[in-house]
Structure 1
Amino acid sequence: MTRRDGLSRTDLPVTLRDRAVVPGDSRYASLRSTYTTQSSPAVVLLPESEAEVAEALRFAGGTDFRLSIRSGGHGLSGRSSNDGGIVVDLSAMNAVDVVDPDTRLVRVQAGARWARVAAALEPHGLVISSGDHGNVGVGGLATAGGAGWLARSYGLTIDRIRAATVVLADGRIVRTDAEHEPELFWAVRGAGDAVGVVTEFEIEAVRLDTIGIAQIAIEADRGGATLRRWSEHLAEAPRELTTNGMLLANGPTFVLQLTAVVADGEPDRIRSLVEPVARLGVRTLALEAQLGPYSMLVPTAHLHPNLGQQVSTTTNALFPTLTDDSAGALMEVAAQPGSPLVQLRSLGGAVNDLDRSATAYSHRDQEVLAVLSTFPPAGIGQLSAAVRPLWPHAEGAYRNFESHPTDATFERAFPGAVGARVRALATRYDPTGLFARAR
């Protein structure tokens, strides 16, 4: 290994020099950071093929620079950039192809963003449940889980993946599916960042022309009964319904602001599913609904460069159906002075159809994902203290919504035997620990 004070184009293999962006280049300002972190890498590499990704990994493996892999989107955890190291940015590998409209097989490169995917699929009447913002990158989400707008209807994004192309740490390019390299395929769906760089996915989309989208605001009581009723209702609701929202303090009053998505285009069916949700709180504050294509949720208007414009620190927790105690703990977090932003996502339904051993994401018996974020000047210490009431009730965590990964957060995301299997596969496919430098 070599160590240098910095990197220039002349340090790179000839084949990568035209793909390199270094400090001082006109594009560097728009490529240096993620949405949530401001960073200063030594070089950003923009490969355009699996062969160039392999060359970039072989080069990085010959140094001891920190390595970050980026699919081009938000990078909420902040791990897709760094200070002084190498960033491999896949945003130039962004093709979206409908391979077979009849079987709904879609080939998506990892550098695409979900707004572009939705726009490409819309003329075919197809959708893939994705992240909740159009600027989210495909690769980062589709190797961790993908608890999107249609999760209860069609499962996580990883549940629809049928094959993937992976570049391993030694530069080998492998196509993996249920029959070819099945252990790698298992790891790619939930712990992909541990075993390789996934450059392309084959995903089975679903046929869905129109959805219902409702904005619902309800007053939530301080004790947590509203949150418990919301969780209990969603645990038993028809699978067409998925809700994601934010818990906001407004003086002494709390508001649960929800976006409810119905995987159905019939107005009466939409009304029958969203109106009961509006009655779960102390009182209904707002209810508006409309019909539209899936792209309304992740429009191309969401696309933007990531400049560190929303610096934040994030952690998360998974829960079974909320009880008085766990709902009360969430309200305790929301009620603190300078409290974290509390986002709540409904899981269950199709997410929990798979056996917990089917993918590296193993939390197939959880119903609620709580994502908690603080903003400057608050940092990880203040966030950790604020969310402490949740841990006695939480039963896992989601890999992507964690700004400061540690052994403890790894165990929450990959508990017990699952974590041991992930670690073993990381050693098998990345024996030198190249990808560990990205975490």
Structure 2
Amino acid sequence: MQYIDNIIFLILLVAGFGLFAKSLQKIYRNIRLGHEINRNDRKSERWTTMARVAMGQSKMVKRPVAGILHLFVYVGFIIINIELIEIVVDGLFGTHRFLASVFGHGFYNFFTATLEILALLVVIGVVVFFIRRNFYGVKRLTMKELFGWPKQDANWILIIEFALMMAFFKMNGADWVLQQRGLLPEHGSFPISSTFLAPVLGGFSDGFLFFTEKAAWWFHFVGILFFMNYLYYSKHLHIILAFPSTWFANLDKKGKFNNLESVTKEIKLMMDPNADPYAAPAEGEADAAPSKFGAEDIFDLNQVQLLNAYSCTECGRCTSVCPANITGKKLSPRLILMKTRDRLEEVGKNIDKNGKFVDDGKKLLNDYITKEELWACTTCNACTDACPVLLDPLSIIFEMRRFLVMEQSAAPQELNLMMTNVENNAAPWQYNQADRLNWAND
């Protein structure tokens, strides 16, 4: 019976990481429902971009207050969970503060003191974010599209992070008091918990302190496993997916038109006086032609676009700078990504239930994203420029517009008139080609 704690710990550890791996597998499968796109060029630039944007948070600090607080939470939470290594070893082998024997007394004191300071910064960050999100009234955080689960999710994450940090302090505080009483070996320096919690805990019995230290330790461990598996259901999946999203980001100039190779070949064929328009396509060319122009559903998008949908932080920086949204139009770039993710999750559940996708009579276009939203976009690229993790909602809008125009001939009247003029007059304006130089007569 003396190893019962170690056995329970091992079961929880395997179950927690097993469920997490299963969730990641589902996400990977869903992303692969999109068609492949080659984003393996310019690798050194991609590694640099990922290091600067995902790890270095370079775009977050463009709004200094929110950026610095987010940096506190991000760096603090990641580094603090280095302690998970120590927790795993202690839990499996019944040791106490295993890293003390690895680091040595001096460096371990520095390490634990650093963790405590970072934990305090995390607490400050999450408290400010909670107040800012719920009471300060930042417009992009109080929009209608965030009502319901998105707002609850953001709050739950902040509450979980706060609770984990409090357990961390409580564990260290009880540990420190027991060390001062000579009941535990003196390992670590705890400037925050020894200052603020130890005076409160000092009045309790040894037995209570041992219970408190162990209970906080278990809470911290189980809380980390819960948080890790909660990510699948949360916008905070970006903690993981921000890294591949920035690596696979579009490095071309913003606004560069994405020509379809099949259309380009067709136009070249039409312009070649020696080409036979009735000739059979060369071997392989027929297969290379797309079965559909543009995107009607998530299957028509590429894998990076679906990865973007999962990586969206729902921060709303894209929507806050969108000129269409600012002027009261229905378009919200953030909502485009959220709706794409919702449809992707619905398709994933369909596959889980049936073993394969069974047509459910729904599409991303019209059932999730309306034509009104798509045509409200000015293609100014403000949303892609503002995104802190280089997501590209405009590319999804663009592909769905392409479907409307090339598959359904459903462009707005103004656009149809312009395209007719280009076809008939070789110019967007409605006048005869013979009159094109009349502007120079005076």
With the shorter chain as reference, the TM-score category is under 0.3
Between Structure 1 and Structure 2, the one with more strand by share is 1
The higher radius of gyration belongs to 2
Query: What TM-score comes out, normalization by structure 1 length?
Result: 0.22
